[in-house]
Structure 1
Amino acid sequence: MLEIHQFPCLSDNYGFLVHDPVSKETTCIDTPDADAYLREAAGNGWQITQIWNTHWHPDHAGGNAAIKAATGCTIIGPQEVERIGPLDRVIADAETVTLGDHVARVFDVGGHTNGHIAYHLAEDGVAFVGDSVFALGCGRMFEGTPDQFWASLERIKALPPETMLYCAHEYTQSNAEFALHADPDNAELQSYVAEIDERRARSEPTVPTKLERELATNPFLRADNDDLRGRWGGSAPHETFAALRAAKDNF
């Protein structure tokens, strides 16, 4: 079984180290803070052997060079990461990467950035989704289009509902405020928000989150829901998504 070590870094990022105790391989999921990753790996007695990037933004790939210099690891990611530094292997939708005998399927989740990818380890029941989707939210649409981003969210929605989504930021309380504004009659959302507030009051993370719960409460994943479409307009789900994303940007 994989071991996943999660830790806060920068102002609101989460770092993830994924370790296979059989092969002794360890991968970084993104690299927002090289010093934090090296320190946390050393604290666990792990040697970093790989980096799996989700997209090119500096708070996700900015630590690549320093970690490689310290460990000699292999850097893997979408081609767009080469905007800020070299990759040892470029990967794209439908390819796979491995950590020991554990296989992660790469899938396209473009929209936040055009080349954004996610990693789904089906046998381990986890997906590392970067900034494509958050607990009760999704990433800003910096480079993509609404129909592209909605298609990406549909790929996430199609994962097994028990999948645990490891997203990259602790944005959940602010996302919850907008979710209640967007979908005020959702009783399950109201219960979820109360739980989130309790967890944050105890300084506990709200990440990872189970896809099944997000499907019932995350307004961006529910842009195909009739009630939300009636409230926010749009003749197609990607148009409702666009209305929700624009409203969140100005909320």
Structure 2
Amino acid sequence: MSSPSATLTVWAASWLAGDTAPDDVIDALAAWAQMHLIGAADAETAVRHDLEWPGVTASGVSTLLRIARSEAAEIRLVLPTAGDVRGLPTGTEFARAAITAGEGIQIGTVGKPGVGLVPSKEGPDVLRWTVFSIPTVAGSADTIGLREAEYELRQAVRDAAEVLGGLPTVATGIPGTDARTLVAEALQAQAGYRWPSTLSPRHLQVIDTADNVAAILTVAASTSTNQAPSVSTAQKRDDLLRRLWDVVRTARVASANSVSIRA
């Protein structure tokens, strides 16, 4: 699952449930960055959670777990994008930051005050987490369950296979390198991200399938089709890619939150 927020959501939920040690969470987040900086979005949040403001501290994942422990009734992953802001508390600094980052986490009970976390890359091996106070934790009426996400992914796999079949050999300077090779390389890069051993086979299947579809879409977005498409054909392809990305994001949120909301 290709975001630090998803990794933290699932692992922190496992830790809160007593199934995972803190060191396991720290090791899982190290796949994204060796150094994790923590900073508050404003002075009030800094005082509330004993954080630096202005500025950041290199206190790492342990501080994120402390915040999760102090706030957590539920931990919710959000993966917003332009035109899709499901699950965000509208009009908040957290929402704006999460949209910019394309990811974030809400911690707390829906309808009550809580905390938001948004990661951002600070350097080659440095990730910064900004902590926000949320006046009201948002839920989403559009949230689907794991079973429904699994069903929608089955159709997405078929559609993504058609997209992959229309991609040509890619001129990368490596003889024989084609779109399928690039997809395999993208999936290999995902192999370094671990998940708690307590995740069910269904959770892992949804995560793996979403990653497969995402790898195809990523390659498709950077690769031309075999023939120059007409305007209408190009529009249909773009619409299909957007729909498939929506399915991927929805499935990733469903798989993470079906674990974390039980925490």
Q: Structure 2 length normalisation: TM-score?
A: 0.29
Q: Judging by fraction of residues, say which structure has more helix.
A: 2
Bigger Rg, structure 1 or 2? 2
User: Relative contact order (C-alpha < 8 Å, sep 6+): which is higher?
Assistant: 2
